[in-house]
């Protein structure tokens, strides 16, 4: 029987698989967000609604963006056919705090956030003859635009919509050509999975960010507790049928992850740039790029072939490809907002490892996690949520394995370090990403050293990885004086200008 060389976190990874596999379009009730906290008054009492911004470049339908309507301004049409298609123009000056120099005759005006209030921009745009105003946020996220208490004129007669930074930049690049747009807020839209923008991710401080889900301290603790319960269920109810369910979930999640990675990779090449930016409407999915349509069949075929041939000796290659793609996608979707949440998450995972080591020894008299990872009592070769590498120099054969949880959980902290370095414009040596990656590598190396010292008995990888990665990050932050920002805000006081559209905040 193949020996497991590393203790996995099957319960943790099952939850992450379910998160990816259950990624579905939002329901109609998700589109309107009634917020009792944001201030309201006559002229400033709209519901926050998600808005579709459909675009045409040289009369050819292109990208479709998702924005959020303001508390003020004219409400949008719900049906696409009732919405007007108008030309999009960039304001001059870009902030639209003063009368634009360019003459407007019903255009949708594109402006930058900053230097004056949202209502001032809207009033200036309406007075200049704009039919609607699109305000580009200075971050890749949506923001609830409300009226200030001392603003007198909030009776605005044009729609006001906030766009995330990446959408605004894409629109600006297209302005070299003739570009038209249509704004509408459907009651029951067909939302593409890649553009799922449920209103539960909207907040005054904009927790929605291009499909990103931020972990909170509470959710980190609950996540580990639920994972322990899943582990017991997997151990007690392990069977052939149960493994088959996990195989199906892994195949679906792996295909989705592979599609996401391939589309992102191919879109970087000029040859595929047009296909990545050209969209077609697909029933039940909405706007889907031609590149996604072209890549999806290949990804599905890869997942199906792995599922069919997973018992063969070469199946580990397909499992690792799907697994790596899924891991990258999960780390892209889930974000640690600050070091405090990252510390809670990894500390809970660290305690999770210690708890199950002792519980396995004193209550079950065998390693519960290794039994689940190998799929004992199921007639299968183990659960699919792990990476496998054959032991080429071991006369007994077998595989060295590492669970997704041992990669994803520290990976969330590594991704946070990279994001902080980018916001701070730190060099590789002066930042945190390089040293956190090195610390993770050292922790993994110590895991395998301990594995050999323990005669091949599976080791709890996070027991070694967490002290290295978290300890290195906190020590460097303390030494450099960044710990307060890392711990609370997760970003520096002054964000580097290369990630901002305007130097001034609202």
Q: What is the DSSP string of 279-332?
A: EEEETTTEEEEHHHHHHHHHHHHHHHHHHHTTTSTTHHHHHHHHHHHHHHHHHH
Q: Secondary structure of the chain: what % helix, strand, coil (to 5)?
A: 50, 15, 35
Specify the pairing of strand 213-214 against strand 334-335.
parallel
Report cis status (omega within 30 of 0) of the bond before 322.
no
Whether 491 and 425 have beta carbons less than 8 Å apart is answered as: no
Specify the pairing of strand 60-69 against strand 48-57.
antiparallel
Report cis status (omega within 30 of 0) of the bond before 93.
yes
Cα gap 55→175, rounded to integer Å: 11
Query: Which residues are within 8 A (CB) of 113 and not within 5 positions of it... i.e. 6 or more apart?
Result: 95, 135, 136, 137, 138, 162, 501, 502, 505, 506
Whether 238 and 377 have beta carbons less than 8 Å apart is answered as: yes
Cα gap 265→298, rounded to integer Å: 15
For residue 5, give the nearest of 346, 383, 324, 373 by alpha carbon.
373
Rg for the chain (alpha carbons), in Å?
A: 25
What are 156's strand-pairing partners? none
Cα gap 306→194, rounded to integer Å: 24
Three-state DSSP string of 112-129: ECCCCCHHHHHHHHHHHC
Q: Give φ, ψ of 113 to 5 degrees.
A: -75, 145
What are 201's strand-pairing partners? none
- Dmax (CA) for the chain in angstroms is 81
Q: What are the residue numbers of the active site?
A: 353, 406
């Amino acid at each position: 029987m193949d020996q497991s060389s590393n203790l996995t976190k099957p319960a943790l990874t099952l939850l992450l698989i379910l998160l990816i596999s259950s990624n579905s379009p939002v329901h109609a009730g998700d589109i309107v967000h009634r917020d009792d906290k944001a201030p309201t008054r006559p002229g400033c009492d709209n519901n926050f609604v998600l808005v579709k911004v459909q675009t045409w470049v040289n009369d050819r339908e292109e990208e479709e963006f998702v924005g959020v309507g303001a508390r003020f301004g004219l409400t949008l049409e719900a049906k696409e056919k009732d919405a007007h298609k108008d030309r999009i123009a960039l304001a001059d000056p870009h902030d639209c705090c003063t009368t634009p120099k360019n003459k407007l005759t019903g255009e949708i005006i594109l402006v930058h956030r900053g230097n004056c209030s949202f209502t001032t921009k809207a009033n200036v745009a309406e007075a200049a003859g704009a039919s609607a105003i699109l305000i580009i946020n200075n971050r890749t996220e949506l923001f609830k635009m409300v009226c200030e208490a001392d603003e007198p004129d909030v009776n605005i007669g044009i729609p006001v919509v906030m766009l995330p930074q990446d959408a605004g930049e894409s629109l600006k690049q297209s302005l070299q050509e003739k570009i038209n747009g249509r704004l509408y807020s459907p009651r029951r839209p067909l939302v593409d999975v890649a553009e799922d923008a449920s209103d539960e991710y909207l907040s005054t401080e904009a927790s929605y960010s291009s499909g990103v889900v931020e972990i909170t301290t509470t959710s980190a603790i609950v996540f580990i507790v639920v994972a322990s319960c899943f582990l017991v269920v997997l151990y007690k109810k392990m069977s052939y049928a149960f493994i088959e369910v996990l195989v199906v979930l892994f195949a679906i999640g792996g295909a989705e992850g592979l599609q996401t990675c391939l589309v992102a990779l191919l879109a970087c090449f000029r040859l595929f740039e047009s296909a990545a930016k050209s969209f077609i409407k697909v029933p039940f999915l909405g706007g889907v790029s031609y590149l996604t349509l072209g890549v999806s069949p290949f990804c599905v075929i890869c997942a199906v072939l792995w599922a069919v041939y997973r018992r063969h000796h070469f199946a580990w290659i397909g499992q690792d490809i799907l697994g790596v793609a899924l891991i990258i996608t999960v780390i892209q979707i889930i974000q640690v907002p600050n070091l405090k949440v990252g510390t809670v998450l990894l500390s809970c995972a660290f305690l999770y490892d210690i708890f199950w080591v002792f519980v396995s020894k004193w209550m079950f008299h065998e390693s519960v996690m290794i039994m689940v990872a190998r799929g004992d009592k199921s007639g299968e070769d183990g659960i699919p949520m792990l990476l496998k590498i054959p032991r080429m120099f071991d006369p007994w054969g077998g595989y060295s394995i590492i669970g997704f949880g041992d990669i994803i959980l520290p990976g969330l902290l590594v991704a946070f370090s990279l994001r902080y370095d980018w916001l701070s414009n730190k060099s590789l040596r002066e930042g945190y990403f390089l040293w956190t990656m090195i610390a993770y590598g050292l922790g993994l190396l110590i895991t395998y050293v301990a594995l050999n010292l323990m005669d091949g008995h599976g080791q709890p990888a996070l027991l070694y990885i967490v002290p290295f990665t978290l300890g290195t990050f906190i020590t460097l932050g303390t030494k450099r004086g960044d710990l307060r920002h890392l711990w609370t805000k997760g970003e520096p006081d002054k964000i580097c200008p290369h990630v901002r559209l305007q130097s001034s905040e609202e």
